[in-house]
């Protein structure tokens, strides 16, 4: 059986890649996909700990995280479409009208 710590390390690596995606990319859709990657790495850690402690509760939490991710994607993509209608671009550098 593979130790849980390996899964936790893998999850940390994937989470870091997601963070880098949010910080480095300028395309709003790719930033959204990076957020999904981070949610997924957290899910992986949850499932690994569910096995570690032989409890199903961790898997239930993953179920709820999935629901939140679905809701977030629906609203987020609607926002992106609305921004694209206004600016005809989804580069986050061009969304700066609140800047003084």
Kindly tell me which of 9 and 100 has the beta carbon lying closer to another protein. 9
To the nearest whole angstrom, how small is the minimum distance from the Cβ of residue 85 to another protein? 7
**Nearest distance from residue 91's CB to another protein, in Å?**
5
Q: Which CB atom, from 59 or from 97, has the smaller least distance to another protein?
A: 59
Q: For residues 48 and 7, is the Cβ–Cβ distance under 8 A?
A: yes
Cβ atoms of residues 46 and 65 within 8 Å: yes
C-beta closer to another protein: residue 18 or 98 = 18
Residue 50 CB, shortest distance to another protein, in Å, is 7
Cα distance between residue 65 and residue 79, in whole Å: 21
Residue 37, by phi and psi: left (phi above 0), alpha (psi -120 to 50) or beta?
alpha
């Amino acid at each position: 059986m593979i130790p849980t710590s390996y899964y936790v390390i893998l999850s940390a690596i994937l989470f870091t890649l997601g963070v880098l995606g949010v910080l480095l990319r300028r395309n709003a859709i790719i930033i959204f996909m990076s957020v999904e990657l981070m949610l997924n790495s957290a899910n992986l850690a949850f499932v690994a700990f569910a096995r570690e402690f032989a409890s199903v509760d961790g898997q239930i939490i993953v179920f709820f995280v999935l629901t939140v991710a679905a809701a977030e994607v629906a609203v987020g993509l609607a926002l992106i479409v609305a921004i694209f209608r206004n600016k005809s671009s989804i580069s986050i550098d061009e969304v700066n009208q609140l800047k003084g």
